[in-house]
Structure 1
Amino acid sequence: MKKLVFTLFTYLLLTSCTPSSDKVTVTWNIKLNHPVDNEVYIVGNQDFLGYWNPNQVKMEKVNELHWTFSHEVAPEKLLEFKFTQGDWKYQAADKNGTERHNDEFLVPQKDTTFHLLIEKWTDGKDNKTTGQITGEVKYHQNFHIDGLLDRDIIVWLPPSYHAATNKRYPVLYMHDGQNIIDPKTSSFGVDWQVDETCDSLIKKGMLEEIIIVGSYCTADRTEDYGDTEKGKIYRKSIAANLKNFIDKNYRTKPEKQNTAVAGSSMGGLVSFMIAWEYPETFKGAICMSPAFKYEDFDYIESIKSDPKKELLLYIDNGGKQVDVVLQEGVDKMSSSLKTKGYKEGEDLFVVIDKQARHSEGDWAKRFPSAIQLFFKK
């Protein structure tokens, strides 16, 4: 068994002699330096870990200083997680009170128990969100599509929108809209800063003025962004329902060459899928850390026999956390697209940053180059 390097806090790794099976039990036993008045939650990158909802998966209280949580997990699954008191303002920290990065481990073939020491918690004061909203945004709450959960929509307007009343603008559609503009609504208190990025590039004359439309995710994110029945409805809702709504209510350039879609992780996957299924509507897709292939899912095989489409495709990935697992799919998709006739540097751009994590902050760093490929002035 590969040695697992784990740096969440002080820990002791114990494994049983349980033989390999389809599922193994992973148990987290955490110890606190001081009792807390709130419940303790585990939060992470799987549905059973609340998929980054800080107050969904409550740990079991053993006593004032000890909490535990167990779940059956398939071996070889990469888990990322943190601990909170039900709010991102109060999450596990080191002895200096600094919040920890997401930590990870690859589930081994045997039952595993982790004993973790949480030395401090962030106090809600030093754990401030970074960034702010730059420019004007409009909100459309509870946008409804039959077959899907209602969701909020955020629309960022370019600097000249109100002054140049006869001007029309290209549109970029983005998933996980709560994470792209407003740090207060972002899942981790850090947003993509697409507002600051685009505002800066526009004022420097490096980017066309564009409208950005962010579709918030819901509790059905995995199904909406996946190759599922709900996913089909969601993809059509972006290409038809939401686009028609935006074109009707804002001064857009509705043509294919002025319309693109972007997202990260599962959002990167669904961005590709939308562009691939609606090439007459979208110029292309920005796919950051896309989940093309993971566990038993392989979207590349699903489109293996499809011919080349008239699309501009940007695909990137980091080199840490879950991006390590996603790299195989990025490589396989890049190779498949080249076989179809895409040429790197022309209609296919692949960027790998080995130092980057699977996070909004790192996607924000790569966003300026990506958006300029589509709407450079």
Structure 2
Amino acid sequence: MKKLLLITLSYLLFISCSPSSDEVTVTWNIKLNHPVEKDLYIVGNQDFLGAWDPSQIKMEKVNELNWSFSHKVEPRKLLEFKFTLGDWKFQATDKNGNERQNDEFIVPQRDTTFHLTIEQWTDGKEKKNQGQITGEVRYHQNFHIDGLLDRDIIVWLPPSYFSDTDKRYPVLYMHDGQNIIDPATSSFGVDWQVDETVDSLVRKGLLKEIIIVGSYCTTDRTEDYGDTDKGKIYRKSIAIDLKHFIDNIYRTKPEKQNTVVAGSSMGGLVSFMIAWEYSDLFKGAICMSPAFKYEDFDHIESIKDSSKKDLLIYIDNGGKQVDIILQEGVDMMSESLQEKGFKQNNDLFVVIDKEARHSEGDWAKRFPNAIQLFFKK
């Protein structure tokens, strides 16, 4: 017998009364208001959901209006998902024609079935990117480091760079460089808008002029940003190789007090790791929604025996999507750093926004306050 619950994500969730186990079955039953000629796909944040590839995981057609998909999942995983017709141009919408936000839930320790009605689909027209490039950027394509996939580098130059040719500038290094400045290259058409933010703060006299260096990610992102052999090479590539490359080409201030690293999610984790391992080269790190502790990984344990570093650390997190899972690691890292001697609102800043999602748009909102901690004028 199943108990019926009405929940706030606009679908009905049925939870079976089967006993807990190592894995449970999650089932999605989709009802369409209108039949479609194309196949229906589920897409989401796990490999079995296509890892955000909209044409990987085809649902089973029950009849003209009903589709289904089931998979075994470990309890406590956070699942985010959407539905497409095999292309991001054709996504499920609400009854008003608005693209549905990611649905999300944490897998309980019981078999779970979602019953969701899809009203209609987006019309296939290209979405207009939100934002633009402000200021001057330079691209360095196919930056090569032995042991890593080649990647592009984007460099944003401050307003006075070409008019004041004697001036030198601090540098902010960022991961997922395709998402930070140019909406045309950003994963979902929304960038961090670090160019607009920094330009505006500089012109208001609130921020020093800085150079921003963005290192694009590759298909090896998880290994590059993780505590892996390849990750060790990547961390050195940013701290030594890329920094040397940028310092030789641009008019930088290469000293520790003028060098900061930043990123989000896995990029937030690797930013912390780089600053911690190369604390003689970096003033500190901006770690947004960092994956300090996720599933079987625990970086807090990795630095347990380390002594305090001369660093400024900024950590933040949202309260929705995967940030719910990441909050435990944020809390544990904050506690661990304070035990080492870091002091809140001195050399450690922790910011929590319970209404924020795990997204470029929300990281962009928190970026102005974060960057001013490091380069305030």
For the criterion TM > 0.5, the same-fold answer is: yes
Which range moves more in the overlay, 32-41 or 210-219? 32-41
What is the deviation of 1:15? 4.0
Residue 144 of structure 1 corresponds to 144
What is the deviation of 1:355? 1.6
> Which whole-Å deviations, capped at 9, do the CAs of 1:309-357 have from their partners, x for residues lacking one?
1111001111222212211111111111111011111111111111211
Residue 170 of structure 2 corresponds to 170
Taking a change above 3 Å as real, the CA distance of residues 173 and 47 of structure 1, as seen in their structure-2 partners, is farther
Taking a change above 3 Å as real, the CA distance of residues 294 and 188 of structure 1, as seen in their structure-2 partners, is same
Answer yes or no: is the 8 Å Cα contact 2:15–2:111 preserved in 1.
yes
Are 1:91 and 2:91 counterparts?
A: yes
User: Secondary structure at the residue paired with 2:50?
Assistant: helix
Q: Structure 2: which amino acid aligns with 1:291?
A: A
> Which whole-Å deviations, capped at 9, do the CAs of 1:118-171 have from their partners, x for residues lacking one?
112222558432111111222222222222222222211111222222222111
Name the CA distance, whole Å, in 1 between partners of 2:333 and 2:241. Answer: 29
User: Secondary structure at the residue paired with 1:90?
Assistant: coil
Q: Structure 2: which amino acid aligns with 1:83?
A: F
TM-score normalised per structure 2: 0.92
Name the CA distance, whole Å, in 2 between partners of 1:144 and 1:35. Answer: 49
Residue 272 of structure 1 corresponds to 272
Are 1:232 and 2:239 counterparts?
A: no
Are 1:43 and 2:43 counterparts?
A: yes
Name the CA distance, whole Å, in 2 between partners of 1:151 and 1:308. Answer: 33
Taking a change above 3 Å as real, the CA distance of residues 376 and 149 of structure 1, as seen in their structure-2 partners, is same
Which range moves more in the overlay, 266-275 or 162-171? 162-171
Unaligned runs of 5+ in 1: none
Residue 27 of structure 2 corresponds to 27
Residue 314 of structure 2 corresponds to 314
Show the 5 A alignment for 1:2-81.
Answer: 7-9=8-10, 11-16=11-16, 18-36=18-36, 38-81=38-81
Q: Structure 2: which amino acid aligns with 1:104?
A: E
Name the CA distance, whole Å, in 2 between partners of 1:40 and 1:189. Answer: 23
Which range moves more in the overlay, 346-355 or 55-64? 55-64
Which range moves more in the overlay, 271-280 or 11-20? 11-20
Residue 117 of structure 1 corresponds to 117
Name the CA distance, whole Å, in 2 between partners of 1:274 and 1:206. Answer: 27
Name the CA distance, whole Å, in 2 between partners of 1:107 and 1:4. Answer: 15
Show the 5 A alignment for 1:339-358.
Answer: 339-358=339-358
> Which whole-Å deviations, capped at 9, do the CAs of 1:2-54 have from their partners, x for residues lacking one?
99875554x34334454322222323232333344554433222233333344
Taking a change above 3 Å as real, the CA distance of residues 56 and 217 of structure 1, as seen in their structure-2 partners, is farther
Answer yes or no: is the 8 Å Cα contact 1:80–1:105 preserved in 2.
yes
What is the deviation of 1:277? 0.8
Residue 133 of structure 1 corresponds to 133
Name the CA distance, whole Å, in 1 between partners of 2:211 and 2:166. Answer: 15
Q: Structure 1: which amino acid aligns with 2:340?
A: K
Residue 370 of structure 1 corresponds to 370
User: Secondary structure at the residue paired with 1:345?
Assistant: coil
User: Secondary structure at the residue paired with 2:320?
Assistant: coil
Residue 303 of structure 1 corresponds to 303
Which range moves more in the overlay, 92-101 or 359-368? 92-101
- Identical pairs, percent: 80
User: Secondary structure at the residue paired with 1:99?
Assistant: coil
Name the CA distance, whole Å, in 2 between partners of 1:351 and 1:146. Answer: 37
Task: Work out the number of aligned pairs and report it.
Answer: 376
Answer yes or no: is the 8 Å Cα contact 2:5–2:13 preserved in 1.
no
Residue 195 of structure 2 corresponds to 195
Answer yes or no: is the 8 Å Cα contact 1:4–1:106 preserved in 2.
no
What is the deviation of 1:210? 1.0
Name the CA distance, whole Å, in 1 between partners of 2:6 and 2:376. Answer: 42
Residue 218 of structure 2 corresponds to 218
Q: Structure 2: which amino acid aligns with 1:362?
A: D
Taking a change above 3 Å as real, the CA distance of residues 346 and 194 of structure 1, as seen in their structure-2 partners, is same
Taking a change above 3 Å as real, the CA distance of residues 203 and 67 of structure 1, as seen in their structure-2 partners, is same
Unaligned runs of 5+ in 2: none
Answer yes or no: is the 8 Å Cα contact 2:3–2:14 preserved in 1.
no
Taking a change above 3 Å as real, the CA distance of residues 124 and 21 of structure 1, as seen in their structure-2 partners, is same
Name the CA distance, whole Å, in 2 between partners of 1:2 and 1:39. Answer: 31
TM-score normalised per structure 1: 0.92
What is the deviation of 1:107? 0.8
Root-mean-square deviation (Å): 2.3
Residue 257 of structure 1 corresponds to 257
Answer yes or no: is the 8 Å Cα contact 2:179–2:192 preserved in 1.
yes
Which range moves more in the overlay, 157-166 or 63-72? 63-72
Name the CA distance, whole Å, in 2 between partners of 1:319 and 1:303. Answer: 26
Name the CA distance, whole Å, in 1 between partners of 2:4 and 2:209. Answer: 50
Name the CA distance, whole Å, in 1 between partners of 2:210 and 2:237. Answer: 21
